[in-house]
Amino acid sequence: MNSASRDLECEPILKRIREEILPLFESAVVDDRVVFQNPHLVRCWEQLSCDRKHCPAFQKNPVRCWQVVGTYCGGKVQGQFVEKYATCRACPTFVAACPTLVEELGEHLNNMLFLLRAEKRRAQEAMRRSEHLNKELTSALENLDARNREIQEIMTTDRLTGLYNRNYLFTMLEDEFARAARRSEYTFCLLMIDIDDFKSVNDTFGHSNGDRMLSRFGIVLGEGIRKFDRAFRYGGEEFVVVLPDTELAVARLVAERIRYAFEKETFVFVAAGKDKSADVSRTLSIGAVTPSPEVTAELLLAQADEAMYAAKTQGKNRVVMFGGLRNA
Residue at 279 is within a domain: yes
pLDDT value for 328: 45
Residue at 133 is within a domain: no
Residue at 147 is within a domain: no
Give the tens place of pLDDT for each residue, 126-144.
999 999 999 999 998 889 8
The one-letter amino acid code at 239 reads F
Spatial strand order in the sheet of 326-327:
230-235, 238-243, 189-195, 284-289, 318-321, 326-327
Residue at 186 is within a domain: yes
Residue at 132 is within a domain: no
CATH number for position 256: 3.30.70.270
Give the tens place of pLDDT for each residue, 224-281.
999 999 999 999 999 999 999 999 999 999 999 999 999 999 999 998 777 788 999 9
Range of the domain at 175: 157-327
Choosing from 237, 247, 263, 294, which is the catalytic residue?
A: 237
Residues 208, 309 within the same domain: yes
pLDDT value for 8: 63
Domain boundary, last residue among 85, 106, 125: 125
Domains identified in the chain, total number: 2
Residues 104, 186 within the same domain: no
Angle (CA) 177 178 180, round 5°: 65
Q: Per-residue DSSP letters for 161-211?
A: TSSB-HHHHHHHHHHHHHHHHH-TT---EEEEEEETTHHHHHHHH-HHHHH
Residues 181, 225 within the same domain: yes
Cα–Cα distance measured from residue 92 to residue 244, given in angstroms and rounded to the nearest whole number: 90
Give the tens place of pLDDT for each residue, 156-184.
899 999 999 999 999 999 999 999 888 87
The one-letter amino acid code at 38 reads N
Pairing of strands 284-289, 318-321: parallel
List, in order, residues 6 or more apart from 321 with CB less than 8 Å away.
248, 252, 287, 288, 289, 307, 328
Residues 197, 113 within the same domain: no
Domain boundary, last residue among 125, 144, 171: 125
Residues 308, 211 within the same domain: yes
Residues 206 and 138 sit within 8 Å (Cβ to Cβ): no
237 assigned to active site:
yes
Residue at 152 is within a domain: no
DSSP 157: B
Side-chain-side CA neighbours of 96 within 13 Å: the count stands at: 16
Domain boundary, last residue among 74, 104, 125: 125
Residue at 138 is within a domain: no
